[in-house]
Amino acid sequence: MKIERISEEGIDRLVDCFYAKIRVDPDLGPIFERVVRGKWEPHLATMRNFWSSVMLTSGRYKGAPVPAHLRIKAIQPPMFDRWLRLFGETCDELFEDEVAEAFRVKAARIAESLKLALFFRPELIAPGKSS
């Protein structure tokens, strides 16, 4: 039976199921493993807090996503598409359509914001030059 509303329990299942997929993904898994270094439970707890704050406005997440992702040199723009595909697939498996869509919309906005922060750096473009 699919989950019909956004809840802490649903967020917990989403995070656990999604990151189980990430861990075995041939493209994303190695990058996450280099960063997480086998300490998955603290990362999963952070992600539960993050999604709780995003979807339920709980205020549980106290981190800074952009600086955390800036430290990961292996991230490339196409990886966001793979991440979103796996995330959306997991949402569809766990949630009723309306709830899955709410998560997918937020994830797409977050991915776009991170891509802009990580890869669109106008301060690095010299005056008079275009990218």
CATH number assigned to the domain comprising residue 23: 1.10.490.10
Do the domain assignments include residue 1? Answer: no
Q: Note down the domain range covering 27.
A: 8-119
Which residue, among 5, 18, 3, has the nearest Cα to 107 in the 3D structure? 18
Rounded CA separation 49/55 (Å): 10
Neighbours of 98 (CB within 10 A): 10
Q: Which residue has the tokens 């990430």?
A: 22
Do the domain assignments include residue 131? Answer: no
Do the domain assignments include residue 97? Answer: yes
- Are 28 and 82 in contact by the 8 Å Cβ rule? The answer is yes
Which residue, among 57, 34, 36, has the nearest Cα to 46 in the 3D structure? 36
- Are 15 and 43 in contact by the 8 Å Cβ rule? The answer is no
Do the domain assignments include residue 128? Answer: no
Which residue, among 80, 67, 87, 85, has the nearest Cα to 31 in the 3D structure? 80
Per-residue pLDDT of the chain (131 residues; tens, 9 = 90+): 999 999 999 999 999 999 999 999 999 999 999 999 999 999 999 999 999 999 999 999 999 988 888 888 889 999 999 999 999 999 999 999 999 999 999 999 999 999 998 888 656 555 554 44
pLDDT at 98: 98
Q: Could you give the number of structural domains in the chain?
A: 1
Do the domain assignments include residue 124? Answer: no
